[in-house]
Amino acid sequence: MNKLDLEGTAHLLDELDKKLMVLLRDGRTLIGYLRSIDQFANLVLHRTIERIHVGKEYGDIPRGVFIVRGENVVLLGEIDQNKEDNLPLRQVSVDDILDAQRKEQEGKVEKQKLMSQALKERGFQMNSDMTHDDY
């Protein structure tokens, strides 16, 4: 680890006990209170929720204490409580947001199949490991 990495991680000490939003490499969004951090930027979040957005709706799934490996963090920042209270989104139940997320994912898969079929008809062959995001 170089000096710059240590300085970057040390700056996170200023965020202890603050409410943070953490975007993970797999696309999940976590919101919780930063309780601990180490030299590898591993995080311990307390009173964590996983927030799922679909269109103009969102739902929060309680996750409790959550440990995040630093290498999985894409973005993190402090939550502005005033702005969080005035979100231009509508909160829905966990069941409703999970159902909307499933439908959204099914739509993406169907769109990918149509794209693959159109390419195949034009003589292109897609690698079966590729996803829509790969091209």
Tell me which of 22 and 1 has the higher pLDDT. Answer: 22
Q: Look at residues 30, 35, 33, 25 and name the one whose alpha carbon lies nearest to residue 60.
A: 30
The strand pairing partners of 66, in sequence order, are 45
**Residues with Cβ within 8 Å of residue 95, at least 6 apart in sequence:** none
Q: Running DSSP on this structure, what letter comes out for residue 119?
A: H
The two structure tokens encoding residue 58:
């969102």
Q: Where are the domains of the chain?
A: 1-91, 93-135
The two structure tokens encoding residue 53:
């957005």
What whole-number distance in Å separates Cα of residue 105 and Cα of residue 103?
A: 5
The two structure tokens encoding residue 83:
């702005």
CATH of 1-91, one of 3.40.50.300, 2.30.30.100, 1.10.286.10, 1.10.760.10: 2.30.30.100
Alpha carbon distance, N-terminus to C-terminus of the chain: 34
Question: Using an 8 Å Cβ cutoff, are 18 and 81 in contact?
Answer: no
What whole-number distance in Å separates Cα of residue 127 and Cα of residue 134?
A: 10
Give the pLDDT mean for 60-89.
91
Tens-place pLDDT, residues 5-49: 446 677 778 889 899 999 999 999 999 999 999 988 899 999 999
What pLDDT band is residue 135 in, cutting at 50, 70 and 90? very low
Encoded amino acid at 6, one letter: L
Residue 3 has pLDDT above 70, yes or no: no
The two structure tokens encoding residue 105:
């994912």
At 127 the pLDDT is 66
At 108 the pLDDT is 92
At 82 the pLDDT is 84
